[in-house]
Amino acid sequence: MGNYTLYIQLALMFVVIYFFMIRPQQKKAKNEKEFESALKVGDKIITKSGLHGKVSELAATTVVIETMSGKLKMERSAISMEMSAALTKK
């Protein structure tokens, strides 16, 4: 009887870890991929390092951002989904 409760507790622990840690991370990664693929020329964005700019060119994995001091070529993954969404809400 004692062994069964141990296995049930372990199974419940893995279920809790999955729903509170693994699944939200997968959902966040999926949303970031969708955001990256939905970028278009003219979108105002903020990078993860805090640079503000506007998308001027798009390539498969890179993006050219126009800032006040010039143009920068960056990876699409360097664009922050949360900060860019907050910028567009203003």
Residue 83: what pLDDT? Answer: 82
How many Cβ atoms from other residues are within 10 Å of residue 65's Cβ?
24
pLDDT tens, position by position, 28-87: 999 988 988 889 999 999 999 999 999 999 998 999 999 999 999 999 989 988 888 877
51: its two tokens: 């640079």
SS3 80: coil
Alpha helices in 1-90 (DSSP H): 2-17, 23-37, 81-89
Residue 12: what pLDDT? Answer: 94
Residue 63: what pLDDT? Answer: 94
Distance of CA 44 to the CA centre of its chain: 16
Say whether both 54 and 85 belong to one domain.
yes
pLDDT of residue 90 exceeding 80: no
What domain range is 72 assigned to? 40-90
Say whether both 67 and 30 belong to one domain.
no
pLDDT of residue 2 exceeding 80: no
Number of structural domains the chain divides into: 2
Say whether both 30 and 7 belong to one domain.
yes
